Amino acid sequence: MKNVKLFEEFFFEETPDFGEVAGWMQEIYEWDYVEQEGENRIRFDWKNGQLSFWLNSDMTGEGNLPSSVKKQVLAKGVNMSTNEGKLVRGITKGAITVGALIGRFKHLFSKEKRIGLLKDIKHVGKMVDLISFMKDSESWLTSDKLSKEDIKVLADNLAIGEKYPTIWDIFGARYELEFKRDLKEDLDAIIAALSTHYKGNDPTTMAYFKDIKEMAEAIRQTIR
C-alpha cells in the first residue's frame, strides 16, 4: 500500500496553477506594470519598463527576471523557455533595453550612409525620420537618471493615458508629436518595405537594410 501511495504522489502531484503563480508574482516584487496579454499570457515590466518577463499558462517563462526573485520563481515551477537570454545580433528577445538597442544600432545614425543607401527605397522618409529620431533621442533614452516618477511626469505632460507608463511610451508619444504619424504604422511600413523591396546583392547595402529592419522589429515588439 505504501508503494501505491508513493506511485500516486509521483504521478498525480498537483501542478502549479497559472493564476495562483501570477498573483503570487505580483506580490513578491514591485513591478512597474503588469498586464494580461490574452487568456494565456501575463507580462511583468520592470526597470522603468525597459525589461519584461512573460509568464505563460503552460508555466513557461520568457524574457528577463530580476535577480532578486529569479530563484523563487523557478522554485515555484516556472520553466524558462529556450529563448531566455537568446540574442538576436545583440538584442535580447522579448526584453529589449533602450541602451542595448542604441548600442547595437548606433552605426545606422551616420547621415552620409543613410542618404546614400536609402535614396531608392520605398518609405525612405519614414526610415530617415526613425533613424534621425533615435539619434536625437539617444541622450534621454539612455539616461540612468530617469526615475519612475520622472517618466510619470513626462507621460502626464504628453497626455499618455497609461497608468504605469514606460520609457517606450514616452518614445512613441514624442515620435508621433514630432512627425504627426503613428509610430506603429510607420514601423510596420518600414518592416514591410525592407522585407520585399531590395533585390540587389551588394553586401554593405544588404547588411544596412537588414539592420534597419531588425531595429524596427525590435522597437515594434516592445512598444504596446
For 125-154, the pLDDT digits (tens) are: 888 889 888 888 888 777 766 777 788 888
Q: Which of 134, 51, 39, 35 is nearest to 93 (CA)?
A: 51
- What percentage of the chain exceeds 90 in pLDDT? 14
Query: CA-CA distance, 169 to 155, in Å (whole number)?
Result: 8
Q: Report whether pLDDT(97) > 70.
A: no
Matching residue, cell 540587389: 200
Taking only the tens place, the pLDDT of each residue in 32-90 is: 888 887 778 888 888 776 678 888 888 888 888 888 999 999 998 888 764 443 333 33
Q: Which three cell numbers stand for residue 209?
A: 537594410
Q: Report whether pLDDT(208) > 70.
A: yes
3-state secondary structure of 102: helix
Query: CA-CA distance, 23 to 41, in Å (whole number)?
Result: 13
What pairs with residue 43 in β-bridges? 35, 54
Burial of 52 (0-12, 13-18, 19+ CB in 10 A): buried
Query: CA-CA distance, 53 to 44, in Å (whole number)?
Result: 5
Query: CA-CA distance, 57 to 55, in Å (whole number)?
Result: 7
- Mean pLDDT, to the nearest integer, of 146-171? 81
Contact of 23 with 10, CB cutoff 8 Å: no
Query: CA-CA distance, 63 to 80, in Å (whole number)?
Result: 8
